[in-house]
Chains A and B, each alone.
Chain A
Amino acid sequence: MNEVLNFVIVGHVDHGKSTLIGRLLYDTESLPADKIEEIKKASDGLGRDTEFAYLLDHLEEERKQGITIDTTQVFFNTDKRRYVIIDAPGHVEFVKNMITGASQAEAAVLIVDVEEGVKEQTRRHSYMLSLLGLHQVIVVLNKMDLVDYSQDRFNSVKKDVADWLASINVAPDVYIPISAIKGENITKKSDKMPWYTGPTFMDSLDTLKNKVSPDEKSLLFPVQDVYKVGDKRINVGRIETGTITTGADVKILPTGQTTQVKSIEKFLEDTHQAVASECIGITTADSVFLDRGNIICSPGAEPHLTDRVKANIFWMSKRPFTKDQKLTLRCATQETTCKIERIARKINSSTLELIAEDANDIANLEVAEVIIKTKKPVAIKDFNDVQEMGRFVLVRDENTCAGGIITEN
């Protein structure tokens, strides 16, 4: 059981994300006895029935207000593999925490309260998933107990969700009627809903696919740092895509110099090849002086080098962007100051309504199509081709204020 899958649970506030996770942990006996005691005690203290959400909502404020403030991660196993569950807050106030959680996931579960139906954060969260490139989605319609397990109600909300998701190019694997609080269709088939013949929530998790390691793609090795060890200059970094072999010809961006890989350096290991996701050091045959932010790639398969980046960005700061502000763009280990030259259009991330064309500012939670002019050239890829170098963050006053997706270059 070596496989691990990370998935995030998103959806509108109070639709039951933390309760679903708590129930899953409880029903799979993933919880130590003293933790169950602890939440029983904490629930009693606030005069409530045992609240499964407290397994995740650990902050005092979260328990008192009954909402999740920050994203959290917990672990659980099925017979098939291990899971990391990322709980994301559903309140509009904490969308940046939801994005933080979702950016670390390989798959997503969208939870919708079947009584309330599609709400503001249902739409915004699923749109953010689509923007972040998370296309493996399971939809659960929760609180079926509140609608008497009605198939008609399930079908009607399912249609609303499906219509919305189709409009943002998300095609979910499955729609599951559940009651997290009662444990219906979580780990075992519910006898309350004989009309439902699909998988339980837990079975549907086991059908999700792990992200494939991008070994087959061309080499991209962003230099993270350079260490002088003895008389060696070791260029360290993580292979984002492809593989590195000693003796291979490599090209260095932005300088365009070419050289060969002389050695691959790993402490206590003697190796001649390294694959994507490995953190290694390399030395080069010629004495080229590399620096953080250089990109090592294969000659003939270079990423696009440009000082003009067209992208979709999502703004995550309460302080709006105005065109005179200076930003720093960080893409892999590359870093450069930049300006947003043009805000071609911006939309409401929950309704997708056009707010303005040729705008002068971008406010919190807005998604904008922009052209960024960078001071130094950056090596980039199309997000659909290589996610690792097709995305970036924008930093203002040392705070990440936006994420960006490069859709064409």
Chain B
Amino acid sequence: MSSALSHLDKLENQSIFIIREAYSQFRDVAMLWSIGKDSTCLLWLVRKAFFDRIPFPCLHIDTGYKFKEIYEFRDKYAKEWNLDLLVARNEEAIAAGMGPDKSKFNCCNELKTVALKQAIAKHGFKALYLGIRRDEHGIRAKERVFSPRDEDFEWDYKNQPPELWDQYKTKAAEEEHIRVHPLLGWREIDIWEYVKRENIPTTSLYFAKNGIRFRSIGCETCCGPVASEADTIDKIVEELKTTNISERSGQAQDKESDYMMQKLRSLGYM
């Protein structure tokens, strides 16, 4: 065996270290699985970390507005990988007709953040794994690997804890839960190179059909496709090497106003 680990090996090992570290500290944990490429990679790493016996649930925050491919993919692999799948929906807001036509900010907050709060309250999770990455958005670039949230779910981004030498935050009494970010150091292209290397399944939405594809997926109502001919993983990797458009350019919540993402995140958004 060569002693020089590849770039992907290093990322994989660091992520597995973080995943195990969080489980060792908190035990009552869950991972958020949006069924997108990042959280599906995270799920793959979690399977590796626990030798395919994941000792906690996978939580899907369902707004009711997701693409049908997302639901199909979720149900297929939840079964195939024998996952403990929890689906969280803010039924009250959905019944009341909440949607992006009301206000994108309120819709994201009600159907995602509030649904998440309800799930945490119900199950008492102390920590949550999320597949966010620094290169997705400037606000996410400021995140810690272990990031505390208070009882109002607020992210105190002006006073984040120091984090050095892989010694991560333990949970203080006044902290509601800790967000754990094992993929923080991965880039979009790393995700796709890893998907290819490991042969990880992803939904068909990422692959170009009729000249368009999705680079980032979420709710059908608020996700725009990009023009692309990339219909294979190799072509996606090639496209990412030359593209001049950012990954989340199709995501409405990043655009609405300059600081919408910061405001959403400070209220507990993912």
Residues of A near any B CB (own CB < 8 A): 2-4, 32-35, 38, 41-42, 45, 55-56, 58-61, 69-75, 82, 84, 96-97, 99-100, 103-104, 213, 215, 224-225, 227, 229, 234, 236, 238, 243, 265-268, 271, 273-279, 281, 292, 316, 330, 388, 391-393, 395, 397-400, 403
Contact = CB atoms under 8 A, between A and B. Distances in A.
**Interface SS majority for chain B:** loop
A100 B169 contact: no
B138 A2 contact: no
Interface of B: 1, 3-7, 9-10, 13, 16-17, 20-21, 23-24, 47-53, 134-135, 137-139, 141-142, 144, 157-158, 160-165, 167, 169-173, 175, 185, 187, 243-246, 249, 258-259, 262
A262 B8 CA distance: 27
Contacts of B10: 4, 277
Residue from B1, B51, B246 whose CB has the most chain A CB atoms within 10 Å: B51
Nearest to B16: A279
A393 B185 contact: no
Contacts of A2: 6-7
Given A33-B245, A58-B262, A391-B165, A277 B13 contact: yes
B51 A265 contact: yes
A399 B24 CA distance: 18
B246 A59 contact: no
Contact of A399 (B4, B157, B161): B161
A142 to B, nearest CB: 22
Given A330-B167, A393-B167, A59 B262 contact: yes
Contact of A400 (B5, B163, B249): B163
A273 to B, nearest CB: 5
A273 B48 contact: no
Interface centre among B24, B139, B249 (most CB of A within 10 A): B24
17 contacts: A2-B7, A3-B7, A4-B7, A58-B141, A59-B157, A60-B262, A72-B134, A72-B138, A82-B7, A229-B51, A267-B47, A275-B5, A277-B5, A277-B10, A279-B20, A398-B169, A399-B172
Nearest to B53: A229
B246 A32 contact: yes
A145 to B, nearest CB: 27
B48 A266 contact: yes
Contacts of B53: 227, 229
A72 B157 CA distance: 12
B20 A236 contact: yes
A214 B172 CA distance: 35
Given A71-B142, A229-B51, A229-B53, 18 more contacts: A3-B7, A4-B10, A34-B245, A41-B258, A42-B258, A56-B138, A59-B139, A61-B158, A72-B134, A84-B185, A238-B13, A271-B1, A277-B10, A279-B17, A398-B171, A399-B161, A400-B169, A403-B162
A224 B13 CA distance: 13
A225 B18 CA distance: 12
A97 B162 contact: yes
A169 to B, nearest CB: 21
B172 A400 contact: no
The list of the 9 closest CB pairs from A to B, nearest first, reads A58-B138, A103-B164, A398-B172, A32-B246, A279-B16, A96-B162, A267-B48, A72-B141, A215-B3
Contacts of B169: 398-400
Contact of B138 (A55, A236, A276, A292): A55
B48 A398 contact: no
A275 B17 contact: no
A116 to B, nearest CB: 26
Contacts of B51: 227, 229, 234, 265, 267, 281
A32 B24 contact: no
A74 B141 contact: yes
A103 B164 CA distance: 6
A296 to B, nearest CB: 16
B158 A69 contact: yes
B156 to A, nearest CB: 11
Contact of B164 (A56, A100, A229): A100
B246 A224 contact: no
Contact of A74 (B16, B135, B171): B135
